[in-house]
Amino acid sequence: MKFNVSVGIIAYNEEGIIKRNIESIIKQKTKFANIEEIIIISSGSTDKTNQIVCAIAKKEKRIKFVCEPKREGKSKAINTLLKKAKNEIIILSSADIVAESNCIEKLCSHFKNKDIGIVASRVKPNESQNKNLQRMTDFLWEIHHKVSLEKPKFGELIAFRKIDSIPRTTVDEEEIASELEEKGFKPCYEPRAVIHNKAPESYRELIRQRRRIYYAHHELLKRKNYRAATFSTRMIIRKTVMHLIRKPKDIIPCMKLIMIELLSRIFGWIDYKSKKDHHIWKISNSTKKFL
């Protein structure tokens, strides 16, 4: 069984990473996941992102470039993608990641099961100059991996069955998962589908990321009664304790991360209660260029 696939890449000021991101998609090794089109949506980019994409598109005919003059949030760009994509299987990728060569094939293999609606990939952070933050984010994503083995966590790069649209939201991938759950589809996690992103170089950027996500999880829970896997404090604690029993040397990055998470969750809760708008968020510039 072969699947025709539409890949969507959502970009804003990604000149430091967009070329590697696109090349990692173009060079995917597939047998039954036929990447028929690559739709790149650049929303209000003011750097060299658009020029880089146009140069690659001249050589790669599958690329369809959509240049939006104004940045209006990732969820709006995703809705543009959903309108333009011609296939029922969609790969949604952030522009600041690099996918390993078999990633899309591994994700799409799960759609042989007609009950599966969405599949999550596994994130492995790339090298960072800030080694303390590197150890913390390595630990964070390892816990997210262990959580996803029990209940999938969605973000960065996902494969899913096409839906009509999503509402304005800050956690777009979890929103898509909730829509497909309402339609009766099941979620899935593929740990062999590996992508690489870059850890923030500053504590301020990390807190800002985690704060925004925690705010959005609150909002999604209230609006749709949908609980993201990593929103469950009980599950996070359980997986963390189990990890530390096996690897007690990780206690130091764990304790530092707990402080960051606690602070981020307090700020995120305040943002939620005060109805702060995170839909167009401040970019973490240090995550946009791999070492």
pLDDT tens column, 90-140: 999 999 999 999 999 999 999 999 999 999 999 998 877 778 888 888 999
pTM of the model: 0.91
DSSP letter at 32 equals S
Q: What is the phi/psi pair of residue 70, to 5°?
A: -130, 140
- The full set of domains in the chain, from first to last, is 3-278 (3.90.550.10)
pLDDT tens column, 235-255: 999 999 999 999 999 999 999
Q: What is the pLDDT along the chain (291 residues), one digit of tens a residue?
A: 788 999 999 999 999 999 999 999 999 999 989 999 999 999 999 999 999 999 999 999 999 999 999 888 899 999 999 999 999 999 999 999 999 999 999 999 999 999 999 999 999 988 777 788 888 889 999 999 999 999 999 999 999 999 999 998 888 999 999 999 999 999 999 999 999 998 788 888 889 889 999 998 999 999 999 999 998 889 999 999 999 999 999 999 999 999 999 999 999 999 889 887 766 656 656 556 654
Alpha-helical regions (H) of 60-102:
74-84
Percent of the chain with pLDDT over 90: 73
**Which of 99, 95, 160 is CA-nearest to residue 126?**
99
The pairing of beta strand 33-43 with beta strand 63-68: parallel
Residues whose CB is less than 8 angstroms from the CB of residue 178 and which lie 6 or more positions away in sequence, other chains included: 220, 224, 226
Beta bridge mates, 223? none
Kindly tell me the sign of the dihedral angle through the C-alpha atoms of 203, 209, 211, 213: negative
**What pLDDT is attached to residue 279?**
64
User: What's the angle, vertex CA 77, arms to CA 73 and CA 79, rounded to 5?
Assistant: 120
Q: Describe the chain by its helix, strand, coil percentages, rounded to 5.
A: 45, 20, 30
